[in-house]
Amino acid sequence: TVGMDMKSTRVFYEFLHQLHRKQPISLVMVTHDLSVIAHYVDRVACLNHRLLFHGDAATFQEQQQKILSNVYGHEMQLLKPYH
């Protein structure tokens, strides 16, 4: 989704979400856009040389700051975009 505007990115993620719901397939996606993608997926895995989190998207969203601080190796402050 690099170089895509926010609307196109949302349309793309929504397309993948609908595809997953309609087809009996699993989708594996690699992204750094975790705060956005977590709204469209059932499960999240975070890697940084090893598996640091694997769980349902709701748990990821609830503990996102703690999980990402662990992934990046230092305290993080999450900012919500203003739109």
pLDDT tens for 4-16 read 888 888 899 899 8
pTM: 0.72
Residues 6+ apart with CB under 8 A from 39: 13, 57, 61
Do residues 34 and 46 touch, judged by C-beta distance below 8 A?
yes
For residue 63, which of 35, 40, 42, 41 has the smallest C-alpha distance?
35
What pLDDT score was predicted for residue 1?
A: 67
Q: How far apart are CA 66 and CA 57, in angstroms?
A: 14
3-state secondary structure of 47: strand
Do residues 40 and 16 touch, judged by C-beta distance below 8 A?
yes
What pLDDT score was predicted for residue 75?
A: 86
